Every structure is written in structure tokens, then in C-alpha cells.
Amino acid sequence: MTEQISISKAFKVVGKTLSFRNACLKDADFILSLRTNPKKSQYLSLVSNDLAEQQAWLIRYEKTKDQAYFIIEKQGEKIGTVRLYDPQDVSFCWGSWILIDGCHPNAAMESALMVYAYAIDYLGFNSAHFDVRKENMRVWKFHERFGAIRVKETDLDYLYRVELPLIQAARQRYEKFLPEGVKVIF
């Protein structure tokens, strides 16, 4: 049996031009604005437009030990969110990946590379699993270019898995977006 790896919350993960900051109560408005934006949330699980509920979720999140929810920032400005969760042996899931309109085109690639660098280099995972809505063609094509393999599908979603050799190959192929990996502050 493989040992279960946990997901630790970092205070900050710093990349080339972006940083991830652990989400906290003061981020509730920003998160809710992304999660309730019709364009941004069309492929995500629904949430109510209730600030108190978002704040309550963040308070519960602070106590969890099986996920890390980050605010993506560029030069201190909030530009998105991403979450690592559902550890299964040596695999982690990631999602809640939303970027604001108008951010630099490289933000998607750099933030994806940062997720993998943090999960592999700092937490010790060696694979990832996740699902993408079938209608969200732009995102599932992104993941497939990155090396993700479609392993199953439901009525709504494609389910993916990506193993360490493919992740490492993608990290090398896209190295210019994150040439020095990440620095992590716990």
C-alpha cells in the first residue's frame, strides 16, 4: 500500500511573475465575484451569491488539512484562484482555477506549472487527477497538451490523470514560463 501524502497550506508560493497566497477571510469578496461571474463560473459547481456563505466556507477551510486554496497574484494584484485537494495516495486533484479577464496570456501556463512544482517538488506527489466539463473545450485541450490522459467520462465531465513522467516532460517543454521553479514560504 502506498503512503498517503497530505496537502499542506503554504503561506506563499512564488513563481517567475506570479505568486500564490493562501486564501483567507478577506478574500471572500474576490472569490465570490469570480465564482458568480456567469462567464467564469459556467463550468464550475454552482455557489450561491451569498458573501456570508463564502466567508463561512473560508473559515472552515482554514481548519482543513487536506487542501490548499490560493489567490493568484501578479505584483500584489489578485488575478485568480486555484485549489489543490482530494489527495489519493500519491495523486492530488486541482481545480477552482479561475483567472480574471485581461490578465497576461502567460498567467495560465505559469500558474499551472506552479501548481505542479508545488505539488511535486514540495509536497511529494507524483501524479494528478482532475475533471473538466466536456463543454469547457479550451481547458481540456490545455490539459491534454500538457500531457493529461482522459481516463473516463461522465455525462458532464472528462476525467483526467497525468503521471510524473508527463508532468516532468511538460515542465521541461514549458520551462521558459517558470525557469527557476517556485519558492515556497510555509
Q: Tell me whether residue 24 is in a domain.
A: yes
What pLDDT is attached to residue 23?
98
Q: Tell me whether residue 36 is in a domain.
A: yes
Please state the pTM of the whole predicted model. 0.94
What pLDDT is attached to residue 2?
56
What pLDDT is attached to residue 43?
76
Give the span between the Cα atoms of 129 and 145, in whole angstroms.
15
Q: Tell me whether residue 4 is in a domain.
A: no
Q: Tell me whether residue 7 is in a domain.
A: no
Please, which residues have CB within 8 angstroms of residue 44's CB and are 6 or more apart in sequence?
A: 35, 96, 98
Q: How many domains does the chain contain in total?
A: 1
CATH number of the domain where residue 51 is located: 3.40.630.30
Q: Tell me whether residue 113 is in a domain.
A: yes
What pLDDT is attached to residue 168?
96
Low-confidence ranges of the chain (pLDDT < 70): 1-3
Q: Where in the sequence is the domain holding 74, given as residue range(s)?
A: 12-185
Q: Tell me whether residue 6 is in a domain.
A: no
What pLDDT is attached to residue 90?
95
What pLDDT is attached to residue 70?
98
